[in-house]
Structure 1
Amino acid sequence: MDDISHCCFSSLSILITAILASVGSVFTASWATGDSGASNGSIGGGRWELLLENAGIASMHTAVTHYGTVVMLDRTNIGPSSINLSDGRCRYNPLELALKVDCSAHSVLFTPETRSLRPLFIYTDTWCSSGQFDASGTLLQTGGDNEGVAKVRRFTPCPPDDVCDWEELDAPALQDGRWYATNQLLPDSRHIVVGGRSVFTLEFLPPNGQAKTFLPFLQTSSDEQTDNLYPFVHLLPDDTLFIFANRDSIVYDYRMNTVVRALPRIPGEPRNYPSAGSSVMLPLRANESYARAEILVCGGAQLYCFLYPAPFPNASQTCGRLVITPAEEQQPEWEMDYMPFRRAMGDMLFLPTGDVLIINGAQNGCQGWDNARNPAFYPVVYNPDAPLGARFTTKAPSTIPRLYHSTANLLPDGRVLVAGSNTHQFYTYSGSFPTELRVEAFIPDYLHEAFNMMRPVIVIAPERVVYSQPFNVYVYVNDTVQGELELNMVSSPFTTHSFSQGLRFLKMKVERQIELGEGDGNLSFFQLHATAPPSPTVAPPSYYMLFVVNQGIPSKAVWVQVIYPSA
């Protein structure tokens, strides 16, 4: 056994005994939410569960920490929220536009397991800001509006029973104030911050003496309503960046400040804010040496919808898929597909299986205050491996409209946390589409009780893995395993305005699957031998959720930190 797995068992029998001793509690605790109490939908469609009646804020920015807690964040210049700061604290900010003295919280920390909520203290305005976790699991958060436009903030997570809070950094500050920008973690652990309203530059954090860089593409991709905001940025496995804005995209060498390739324009409508499509880079696969990168862009809105929202034109119903690497001799072409529903403001995220969930949004209109109608209540799942025309399945609908400023994030237990929605400039609790403070979970099909016996349980896994180094995962399955188990690794993004910044999915290879023994009934115990991602261009150093999947049924994730050998 390797040192990384921290397994000190001297024999197979001792290992199996240890697993048997821990299996019962692990299995029960991991899947307490997997019962059959379906109120919306059935085994074929998933179901919904209300987690919080009142989170205190409408979360326009949401991120899941490696402790499993959830950071929720709104703007500050919105007036009082519905949750007060603790211990009599108040925020005194003479530059604040709404309240100079504000005793309410505009950020909270939610613990899904206990459904507990703790107010956090944020000082400068975070309206339409950006962020991403760094190599240590700290959330770096940048920009916003008003006095927060050039601010850098930091949230260092802690266990749920400890106390941690936001820090406003005096230095570094952003070189350009950024509102509606996008962040991406780089292989060297820096963040690149791209674009913003009327800002056509990018910069690095920490800057390490490097000045901001003008990127003409950010200017030429604009239009009358600036549909190039919150650009879709994905780190490609060859250490270049895919940058998409409006309907255009490039491959960009951020080290040399050169455009490697200008890619073809996607057919159809504008796709970025305020037209509000979404994007993911499809899973990188070990059996392809993690070298093939494909981009998926779905949804959007009609041009001029933001400038002239009524009569709320139809949102886009199309998805485009483009192969980026390895580079081909011929220019790649967008492969177009149709979603079951039109959708703007949809959130795209990965399920533990590598399928893409598209959730939230509206079928008419676009982003902005009261600019949308006809909520898209039905989530859909996109299977990247299915043939064209057969990739979408429709799931059970929510009953809560999730429009402008809503979010969706994968939880380690396989549920999807859904929060936010505020189509108004201030908190408004009456009229059409009121400010939404409820938090719910979409529970996919694989958490139905019918699959409990097939669900793997990770008993022992490494806390850290080193690039290209082998590691072992020990798994319990309460049923017969047919074929190979899967190992999938997914990052935790910063989700806002229909784009999950830093989202990344790796389909790893199980190199050896050894059955260690059997327990009572059909209990089976396995050692899975795998190799960590080969480089930080494939998986930038950070925390990832590691899932084991048995015939489409995922385990609860364990958090694994991917590190350099010297870390």
Structure 2
Amino acid sequence: MLSHVLQFSLWMGISTSAALAATPGSFEDGGNTQVSAMMMFVGNDEKVYISDKTESNAAQINGHPAWNSVWDINTRQAMIMNGRTNTFCAAGMHLPNGTWITFGGNKALGPGDTPASDGQGQFDDRFGVYDGRKAIRLLTPCKSSDDWNSVKCQWLDDASQLAMQKERWYPAAEPLADGTVAIIGGFTSGGYINRNFPNDDPATSHGGSEPTYEFYPSRGAAQLMNFMVKTSGLNSYAHTFMMPSGKMFVQANYSTILWEPETNVEHELPDMPGKIVRVYPASGGVAMLPLTPANNYTPTILFCGGSDMPDEAWGDFKWPMIDTWNHPASSDCQRITPEPLDGTAPVYVKDDNMLETRTMGQFVILPDGTLLIINGALNGTAGYAQQTGQTDSYSKMPFGMSLASGPVGRPAIYDPNAEGGKRWSNDGLSSSSIPRFYHSTAILLPDASVLIAGSNPNVDVNLTTAYPTEYRAEVFYPPYFSATVRPKPSGIPQTLTYGGLPFDITIPASSYSGSANDAASKTHVAVVRAGWTTHSMSFGQRYLQLNNTYTVNQDSSITLHTSQMPPNANIFQPGPAMVFVVVNGIPSNATFVIVGSGMIEKQPLLSVADLPASQNRDGASGSANGSQTGQGGGKNGAVTTSTSMTNVVLAGLVMMVVGSGW
């Protein structure tokens, strides 16, 4: 039953006191996830939700293997959850009210990816699984105090009631400014890359590829996206980021565009230098750099790693044409600012190389504004196969089904504000002994540590191969866990608006060490969305620094006068987020908030109120810290003036479930 809890040994909870006792830069045992963690998201300050593909997991629920679980942050126990459809390589995203949603997956299959027992791929009675290719699944995060048998705490997973128009396996998902989610591309049924070779039908691969996009909730029939035809074969999990203008940055294969979702107009941007592929299965690390008042909330995208294999080496649906595990991954990093404020044409700019080659490395944006890259391999690609174009049988495959080799156990940290040549470091960081390859994941937790789980480059559960199915979780503690005290802010609201009146956050004197004036000047407020993570990427991951000034009080407490979100919902779409207060580089525990109205609608945009000048304790005034920066420019960033916060319509957190008829 849903409330059944599988017990296993635990090491300790993740309370503030326990976290402070952790060794910075180290990995600690995170328990057992019960299903291999192919997909994860942080639901609230208690729970991380995990999904796997449908396979022969030992954990059983309702008479069949489980492929969903929820990991408790405090106890590190995993509770299995029921699911109906195959979530293998689905996409996921948040909704404005804090509900999470997944799109697509694979058809129903039996053990070892054998055909479903019904012969049609619609249902397999051995796994008790239904076809997931059109599925839309909804979940509202619950807490331990909730009734876990209630409808609200379970996955709504019934493709006969809620479904997409097209079958999608490895689609992309990106929300628009109103919270509507664009769902882009994908396979129709499995494979290494989504093309035939020779590629005589780049649009649909004779029915194997889906080159269209659609929306949830629906905005009409699915439409052809020419970019998916152009990038045929290497466009699974395309990299997508909304821009301030309302256009969407889309990158796949080695091509790049700005796309207008409302009109389906594409604007070509430069190709990826060196024709390095970053999408699955090359699986480079990709993230939007922090949005700050200093950069006027102008997005810059960072790409690192992946593969420079030539086009013919990628093969087709079946397998690669070369022994990928012998081909080094890339160490190359590139930045691009798709909408430069000065109006110049966007270009890729060479950044510092990583410290090693890496495929399947994942970026996790930390609360201090640095980026952790973790997991992955030195050589090869994601995916699995029983042969290649050079190795003709499974018995000759040196690493089982894995198409990668050389685990990278040591993470590294990238500082986007450091000068060129000094942005990467792994000083003081430990190495994990667990290889994290295909289907591994990592995500930021509310205490600012990082949960790492998964890895399964196998067609089904395999516990004896070179890189086995992995159920063990780890927690990584970044260097800021060396602090003896952490900020304990109060006054953070439960809802952040786009523009509007500022709010005050109080930081007690016990929350920092050293000079109060110095601490105040080195404090910022970060709104972080950890995203929905799978396959070494995080859909929707964002970091935005709120503008603030400060007053240092006579008791050495600090009052942060804090602006609301910039009045442009394109750059940080409505929905759930974590707020961290960071003092001297040391983050607080997160406060969970909802950004925006909580509804799928045109978000209310309010005028930005001025902040008072900063005030030190001795009475000397500091600067106002740019209270008028980050106004959210662009054609869709206009400010709606309001003289009172009473004019803000904060709708209740209720979402209408849209049926299969849309």
TM-score, length of structure 1 as denominator length: 0.85
Q: What CA distance in whole angstroms lies between the structure 2 residues aligned with 1:533 and 1:260?
A: 26
| Cα deviation code 1:131-152 (max 9, x no counterpart) | 1111111111110011110111
Aligned residue type for 1:316: S
SS at match of 2:382: coil
SS at match of 1:390: coil
Aligned residue type for 1:157: P
1:74 maps to 52
Q: What CA distance in whole angstroms lies between the structure 2 residues aligned with 1:363 and 1:484?
A: 37
How much has 1:300 moved relative to structure 2? 0.6
1:153 maps to 137
1:98 maps to none
Pair 1:338-2:336 in alignment: no
**Do the aligned partners of 2:324 and 2:381 also contact (CA within 8 Å) in 1?**
no
2:463 maps to 429
**Do the aligned partners of 2:512 and 2:583 also contact (CA within 8 Å) in 1?**
no
Q: 1:123 to 1:211 in 2, by over 3 A?
A: same
**Do the aligned partners of 2:325 and 2:381 also contact (CA within 8 Å) in 1?**
no
Query: Larger strand proportion, structure 1 or 2?
Result: 1
Q: 1:73 to 1:307 in 2, by over 3 A?
A: farther
2:574 maps to 541
Q: 1:302 to 1:555 in 2, by over 3 A?
A: same
Percent identity between matched residues is: 31
Match of 1:489 among 512, 523, 527: 527
Q: 1:55 to 1:531 in 2, by over 3 A?
A: closer
Q: What CA distance in whole angstroms lies between the structure 1 residues aligned with 2:367 and 2:286?
A: 17
**Do the aligned partners of 2:245 and 2:570 also contact (CA within 8 Å) in 1?**
yes
Match of 2:166 among 162, 176, 179: 176
SS at match of 1:374: strand
Question: What is the correspondence of 1:104-503 to structure 2 with a 5 Å cutoff?
Answer: 104-146=65-107, 147-162=131-146, 163=148, 164-169=153-158, 170-197=160-187, 198-208=209-219, 210-222=220-232, 226-290=233-297, 292-303=298-309, 304=313, 306-326=320-340, 328-369=343-384, 370-394=402-426, 395-448=429-482, 451-453=483-485, 455-469=486-500, 470-476=502-508, 477-480=511-514, 481=516, 482=518, 483-503=521-541
SS at match of 1:33: helix
Q: 1:517 to 1:118 in 2, by over 3 A?
A: farther
**Do the aligned partners of 2:336 and 2:346 also contact (CA within 8 Å) in 1?**
no
Larger radius of gyration: 2
**Do the aligned partners of 1:408 and 1:419 also contact (CA within 8 Å) in 2?**
yes
Match of 1:514 among 551, 564, 584: 551
Q: What CA distance in whole angstroms lies between the structure 2 residues aligned with 1:331 and 1:136?
A: 34
Q: What CA distance in whole angstroms lies between the structure 1 residues aligned with 2:19 and 2:60?
A: 30
Q: What CA distance in whole angstroms lies between the structure 1 residues aligned with 2:278 and 2:592?
A: 33
Q: What CA distance in whole angstroms lies between the structure 2 residues aligned with 1:312 and 1:193?
A: 35
Q: What CA distance in whole angstroms lies between the structure 1 residues aligned with 2:180 and 2:489?
A: 32
Aligned residue type for 1:514: T
Q: What CA distance in whole angstroms lies between the structure 1 residues aligned with 2:418 and 2:275?
A: 23
**Do the aligned partners of 2:45 and 2:73 also contact (CA within 8 Å) in 1?**
no
**Do the aligned partners of 1:460 and 1:475 also contact (CA within 8 Å) in 2?**
no
Q: 1:124 to 1:337 in 2, by over 3 A?
A: same
Pair 1:556-2:556 in alignment: no
Q: What CA distance in whole angstroms lies between the structure 2 residues aligned with 1:269 and 1:326?
A: 23
How much has 1:66 moved relative to structure 2? 2.7
Q: 1:199 to 1:299 in 2, by over 3 A?
A: same
Worse-superposed segment, 109-118 or 325-334? 325-334
Aligned residue type for 1:352: P
Q: What CA distance in whole angstroms lies between the structure 2 residues aligned with 1:330 and 1:540?
A: 25
Q: 1:331 to 1:488 in 2, by over 3 A?
A: closer
**Do the aligned partners of 2:37 and 2:455 also contact (CA within 8 Å) in 1?**
yes
**Do the aligned partners of 2:71 and 2:78 also contact (CA within 8 Å) in 1?**
yes
**Do the aligned partners of 1:31 and 1:413 also contact (CA within 8 Å) in 2?**
no
Aligned residue type for 1:126: T
Q: What CA distance in whole angstroms lies between the structure 2 residues aligned with 1:47 and 1:561?
A: 32
Q: 1:392 to 1:237 in 2, by over 3 A?
A: same
Q: What CA distance in whole angstroms lies between the structure 2 residues aligned with 1:220 and 1:405?
A: 27
Aligned residue type for 1:203: E
**Do the aligned partners of 1:67 and 1:158 also contact (CA within 8 Å) in 2?**
no
How much has 1:489 moved relative to structure 2? 0.7
SS at match of 1:436: coil
Aligned residue type for 1:263: P
**Do the aligned partners of 2:278 and 2:284 also contact (CA within 8 Å) in 1?**
yes
SS at match of 1:267: helix
| Cα deviation code 1:423-476 (max 9, x no counterpart) | 11111111311111100011001012xx123x2112331111222022222223
1:58 maps to 36
1:24 maps to none
Aligned residue type for 2:373: I
Q: What CA distance in whole angstroms lies between the structure 2 residues aligned with 1:410 and 1:548?
A: 15
**Do the aligned partners of 2:301 and 2:335 also contact (CA within 8 Å) in 1?**
yes
**Do the aligned partners of 2:101 and 2:138 also contact (CA within 8 Å) in 1?**
yes
2:127 maps to none
| Cα deviation code 1:474-498 (max 9, x no counterpart) | 2232423412411111113111112
Q: What CA distance in whole angstroms lies between the structure 2 residues aligned with 1:537 and 1:330?
A: 21
TM-score, length of structure 2 as denominator length: 0.73
SS at match of 1:325: coil
**Do the aligned partners of 1:276 and 1:366 also contact (CA within 8 Å) in 2?**
yes
Q: 1:373 to 1:331 in 2, by over 3 A?
A: same
Gaps of 5+ in 2: 1-13, 108-130, 188-208, 315-319, 385-401, 598-647, 652-662
Pair 1:47-2:85 in alignment: no
| Cα deviation code 1:204-240 (max 9, x no counterpart) | 00104x2212111111112xxx222110001112211
Aligned residue type for 1:404: Y
| Cα deviation code 1:286-313 (max 9, x no counterpart) | 23432x2111111112422634235521
| Cα deviation code 1:310-331 (max 9, x no counterpart) | 5521011111111112363344
2:123 maps to none
How much has 1:525 moved relative to structure 2? 4.2
Aligned residue type for 2:332: T
How much has 1:31 moved relative to structure 2? 3.9
How much has 1:56 moved relative to structure 2? 1.1
**Do the aligned partners of 1:312 and 1:371 also contact (CA within 8 Å) in 2?**
no
**Do the aligned partners of 1:264 and 1:334 also contact (CA within 8 Å) in 2?**
no
Q: What CA distance in whole angstroms lies between the structure 2 residues aligned with 1:388 and 1:375?
A: 27
Pair 1:34-2:44 in alignment: no
Q: What CA distance in whole angstroms lies between the structure 2 residues aligned with 1:347 and 1:422?
A: 16
| Cα deviation code 1:152-196 (max 9, x no counterpart) | 111111112321111114344211111011111211111111111
Gaps of 5+ in 1: 1-27, 91-101
SS at match of 1:287: coil
**Do the aligned partners of 1:346 and 1:361 also contact (CA within 8 Å) in 2?**
yes
**Do the aligned partners of 1:135 and 1:542 also contact (CA within 8 Å) in 2?**
yes
